[in-house]
Amino acid sequence: MGIAKGKRALIVGVANDKSLAWQIAQELHSQGAEIALTYQGEALEKRVRPLAAQIEADVVGELDVTNDSQIEAVFANLKQKWGGLDMLAHAVAFAEREDLRDRFLNVSRVNFSRSLEISAYSLVALARAAEPLMEVRGGGSVVALSYIGAVRAVPNYNVMGVAKAALEACVRYLAIDLGPKNIRVNAISAGPARTLSSSAISGFHTMVHEVEQRSPLRRGMKTEEAGKMAAAILSDLASGVTGQTIYADVGYSIVGF
């Protein structure tokens, strides 16, 4: 009997087998949950469908989080298939490559807005769509992925740090709005992980080395550790936890000098 036995979970943001979203999907599956995945575009669909087959997950449609009609279609599909939803994992973020290499000062108005729309507003849009499906199940749980760059100025993280700060604020305000429906909303601030998105950050390997040298555990975060923490927070084991950003970063966030 796993901690997610009998639960139904939608995971948004799986890009390949290195994705933290994929770690969450695997862990929830191992803990007994039924899993649904989405994809963005034909190229990612070719990666997501074989992964879905590994955990007997349903691919419930294409989902570009800037497209309201696609959001509506995915959740209509979930309603038809399951009737309700217990868990939602948000692992979506975006910044233009040049904005993760140039000075933050130089980010354009267009790129700034796009980063915040995809990385932060998307949580609001997905939570709004999930609310009625979770309500019929008596409540639910939402988790989003963040990073320490939301609260500290990390070299080259730039506009993504601003977007993650907005995401963490969205978590708190959504927790207030959805709490009366017994829906919890939290964020996990994971350590730096070698994923498709992190490859765009200039100096990423330096970030990983810094964590390995200075964290209390003297190592980097294992990607499966983020998946396990997400599963725990999404599950009823964390029934009294909402509106929080939980650090799963091998302790690096506590270190001063």
Q: Which residues are catalytic?
A: 147, 157
Containing 11, the helix (H) or strand (E) segment is strand 8-12
DSSP label at residue 117: I
**What angle is formed at CA 69 by the lines to CA 98 and CA 62, rounded to 5 degrees?**
65
Containing 8, the helix (H) or strand (E) segment is strand 8-12
What residues have CB less than 8 Å from 240, skipping those under 6 apart?
none
What residues have CB less than 8 Å from 93, skipping those under 6 apart?
118, 119, 145, 160, 163, 164, 197
What residues have CB less than 8 Å from 65, skipping those under 6 apart?
12, 71, 92, 118, 122, 125, 126
Q: Which segments within 111-236 are labelled E, that is strand?
A: 140-146, 183-190
User: Which strands form 58-62's sheet, in the order they lie side by side?
Assistant: 58-62, 34-39, 8-12, 87-90, 140-146, 183-190, 245-248
**Spatial contact of 147 and 93, defined as CB atoms under 8 Å apart:** no
